[in-house]
Amino acid sequence: MPSMQNQFYERSAHLTALLNNDPAEAVKQAREINLDAPEPERFNLMMLRASTLVDGGALTQQKNAIEEGLALFRVLHDRFPTTNIAYNLANGLVAAVGDPPRAPSWLDHLERTAEYRAEARRCFWKVAHDRDVESELRTEAWTNLANQFSNSYRFGEAHDGWLAALEIDPGNGVAASCAAHNLLWLYEQGGCSDLTHVEAVMLAKIAHRHQDRVIQYAGAQAAERITAFASALEDPPSRSPHTDPFIEWVERERLTLAPAVELIDPTLGKLDWLVLPGILERESGAIAIPPPVFSMFNVLKSDFILARDLAWRALDENAWPATARFADTLDYATYGPDASALILAHRTALDLLDKIAVTANHYFELGQPPDKIYFGRLWRGSPDKATGVRPLTEKVEAAIRGGANALYGLVELAEDYDNSAGILRPQKNLRNAGTHRFVVLHDFGDPAQSRQAPEIERHQRELFTQEALRALRVARSAIQMLALSISQHERGMARRTTGIVGSLVVPDHDWIRGRDDGI
């Protein structure tokens, strides 16, 4: 007789074949799996039943089957919170959520599934950042996490995720194709440089060259769609490497303020050319001076550029004047303006989030006092007494339903940042430590071996540098979402406004000052 292990593998292969040929029958047979077995056989049977129910339910649109599989994954994750089970749980949650529909029910769908989607992001995030996990699972986790970001207009974070997936597996055609599609969509909105289109083509060609990996990750139908998509695009022109190390660093770390996360074209003359669109004048009889939102946006960009420059200069301790002596604390801690600049860069980047909320409150006329606004709390009202859910405020909901879909990306980013279990909450905690207490960076050894005090939070300098860069990318994405939501809102207002419509286009600051010809 075949061993129990052989029987399991035979059943697994049989159900996999059924999923490809008769998914409804696969669901039926998965429900017949008897889970009354000793460990570890019971664990394996639960995994097989859960995954078949989720995959088969998604293929046959049987929501009850997906929920059954999801319930099993929850039980498994509670008992064995491994990254592998976390990944399967996330996929079950995504299957239960389904693809977001088009307007007008898009927002209702996102709100209805917000809890599931946040849990899926947490699971994918856990797998993607665990360097002990096999590369195939990590690249898929990054791809799926990026897809979740993209569904709610968090395009900058999505592009970061797809590129992270490609860094792990350069042949991940699914990530390359998704990134290409998003770049082309942004390019078609207007305002992007030609390099946005060039990078989209480069990514599409990667997907085309690695169809086998696309089939492995997403199936044959996805491979066919990607092939058709890539074949319709011409080959991109060759690019020369950057000669300026700062430019090369900014491009590699994806820290430009442009309409999309894109490659850098040195001929443009400016790295950070993201600007607001022309604004419809709302005040009758107002003089021809740009409204205050332009000043706010300029300061957002200025603060971001300074934070980025501090991070760049902090990489070289010799870039700062050595004007002070410091007591050596005998624990490999680093002190000086370079360390402080890195900590300040992190804090300045995340401080921008509150200013972005203030800008959104002003532009969208959300009605909150400017001195009482916090990024994590602006968007939603008080919890519902029956459900405990915090609904969107009426004015935020009205703005999104009016066409400013990217505003929902800021709502969701705020929840990931402010909620105690949010994937970006560690960034907020680190920012608070740097603001209200002391952060000390160590270039060697284990900071845990230092003499401890509750007032001091210690980090390895290399890891903190990565957190500072991540904070800069979070701020960059938030500024991009703010600009896109304003553009969407302006287009919606232009469509809804009757009669002659005047739009105030603001000239380039350097051009007005006579410093260059503008962009």
Q: Average pLDDT, stretch 23-36?
A: 93
The answer to whether residues 179 and 40 belong to one domain is no
Give a yes or no: residue 123 inside a domain.
Answer: no
- CA R_g for the chain: 25
Residues contacting residue 444 through CB under 8 Å, at least 6 positions apart: 332
The helix (H) or strand (E) run that includes residue 50 is helix 41-60
The answer to whether residues 268 and 307 belong to one domain is no
- The answer to whether 146 and 125 are in contact (CB under 8 A) is no
Domain count within the chain: 3
The answer to whether residues 269 and 307 belong to one domain is no
Which of 215, 245, 274 delimits the end of a domain?
A: 274
Tokens at 427, concatenated: 């960034």
Bond into 426 cis (ω within 30): no
- The answer to whether 459 and 441 are in contact (CB under 8 A) is yes
Angle (CA) 16 21 24, round 5°:
85
Pairing of strands 456-460, 333-334: unpaired
Residue 438, strand partner residues: 456
Per-residue pLDDT band at 224 (split at 50, 70, 90): confident
pLDDT at residue 500 in the model: 45
Q: Average pLDDT, stretch 299-326?
A: 93
Q: Write the burial class of residue 238 (CB in 10 Å: 0-12 exposed, 13-18 middle, 19+ buried).
A: exposed
Which of 209, 241, 274 delimits the end of a domain?
A: 274
Give a yes or no: residue 376 inside a domain.
Answer: yes
Give a yes or no: residue 110 inside a domain.
Answer: no
Residues contacting residue 232 through CB under 8 Å, at least 6 positions apart: none
- The answer to whether 450 and 329 are in contact (CB under 8 A) is yes
The answer to whether residues 145 and 268 belong to one domain is yes
- pLDDT single digits (tens) 339-349: 999 999 999 99
Per-residue pLDDT band at 1 (split at 50, 70, 90): very low
Bond into 104 cis (ω within 30): yes
φ/ψ of residue 149, rounded to 5: -60, -45
How far is Cα 182 from Cα 202, in angstroms, rounded to an integer?
13
pLDDT at residue 285 in the model: 61
For residue 127, is pLDDT > 60? yes
- pLDDT single digits (tens) 444-487: 889 999 999 999 999 999 999 999 999 999 999 999 999 999 99
Using a pLDDT cut of 90, give the percent of the chain over it.
66
Question: Mean pLDDT score of the chain, rounded to an integer?
Answer: 89
Which of 221, 239, 274 delimits the end of a domain?
A: 274
Q: Average pLDDT, stretch 311-323?
A: 89
- Comparing C-alpha atoms, which of 71, 66, 67 is closest to residue 55? 66
Per-residue pLDDT band at 310 (split at 50, 70, 90): very high
How far is Cα 398 from Cα 404, in angstroms, rounded to an integer?
9
Give a yes or no: residue 268 inside a domain.
Answer: yes
Per-residue pLDDT band at 518 (split at 50, 70, 90): very low
CB neighbours of residue 172 within 10 Å:
29
- pLDDT single digits (tens) 486-514: 999 998 887 776 644 445 556 665 655 55
pLDDT at residue 506 in the model: 61
Per-residue pLDDT band at 10 (split at 50, 70, 90): confident
The answer to whether residues 83 and 195 belong to one domain is no
pLDDT at residue 290 in the model: 83
Lowest-confidence range among 91-105, 180-194, 215-229?
A: 215-229
The answer to whether residues 146 and 98 belong to one domain is no
Lowest-confidence range among 30-39, 210-219, 474-483?
A: 210-219
For residue 517, is pLDDT > 60? no
Q: Model pTM? A: 0.91
The answer to whether residues 461 and 316 belong to one domain is yes
Give a yes or no: residue 113 inside a domain.
Answer: no
Give a yes or no: residue 119 inside a domain.
Answer: no
H helices present in 336-405, as ranges: 337-363, 394-401
Tokens at 476, concatenated: 């960059």
For residue 372, is pLDDT > 90? yes
The answer to whether residues 147 and 245 belong to one domain is yes
Query: Range of 329's domain?
Result: 294-519
For residue 187, is pLDDT > 70? yes
The answer to whether residues 343 and 486 belong to one domain is yes
- pLDDT single digits (tens) 137-171: 999 999 999 999 999 999 999 999 999 999 999 99
The answer to whether residues 388 and 332 belong to one domain is yes
- The answer to whether 182 and 158 are in contact (CB under 8 A) is yes
pLDDT at residue 519 in the model: 42
The answer to whether residues 265 and 142 belong to one domain is yes
| CATH number of the domain residue 161 falls in | 1.25.40.10
pLDDT at residue 507 in the model: 62
The answer to whether residues 306 and 233 belong to one domain is no
Per-residue pLDDT band at 207 (split at 50, 70, 90): confident
Give a yes or no: residue 462 inside a domain.
Answer: yes
Give a yes or no: residue 360 inside a domain.
Answer: yes
pLDDT at residue 508 in the model: 64
